A = this chain, B = another copy of it.
Amino acid sequence: MNNFDKKIESFYGLCRQKRLKITPQRIEVYKALMSSDEHPSAETVYKKVKKNLPNVSLDTVNRTLNTLSLIGAAFVVEGSGDVKRFDGNLENHQHFKCVKCKKIFDFQHNAFENIKAPEELGHKFKVLRATVYIEGLCQSCLEKENKIQTN
């Protein structure tokens, strides 16, 4: 069984554990999210799912993505700011976001892996994920940066 199948397998388990029905739509949405290394928007996931399930509704995709984030099977990318973007890649990686063009860049950095939430937080809350989030200006925006466009 390959890695991808394992993920699906454990997704099944997660659904059962949370008493969520395993529907074709849910599975397809999950697969679509897992198999995209970007940070797809609901719209993008929708298009992907539509290939296998031609008449899913966008609403279902939206609700499902939302559900996935509730059970910790996906995440809303921090700092979206524009349209919601989802991330199915739960392996440890960090995000850099350009405040100007809003693009999100993944990066890895050993020192940031396995960040542990502070004790007192863990007592009160259930932590699903801890990452480092860096904001700034990306290369191409830096180049045109001398002038700030406000209107």
Contacts and interface: CB of A to CB of B under 8 A. Distances in A.
A125 B129 contact: no
A53 interface: no
A126 B148 contact: no
A32 interface: no
A106 to B, nearest CB: 11
A134 B31 CA distance: 25
Interface stretch (A5-13, A44-52, A109-117): A109-117
Nearest to A107: B121
Contact of A76 (B79, B124, B129, B138): B79
Nearest to A79: B78
A78 B79 CA distance: 3
Count chain B CB atoms within 10 A of each CB in A63, A125, A145, A148 and give the residue with the most: A125
A147 B17 CA distance: 11
A150 interface: yes
A130 interface: yes
Interface of A: 18-20, 63, 66-67, 69-72, 75-81, 84, 96-100, 105, 107, 109, 111-112, 115, 117-118, 121, 124-139, 142, 145, 147-148, 150-151
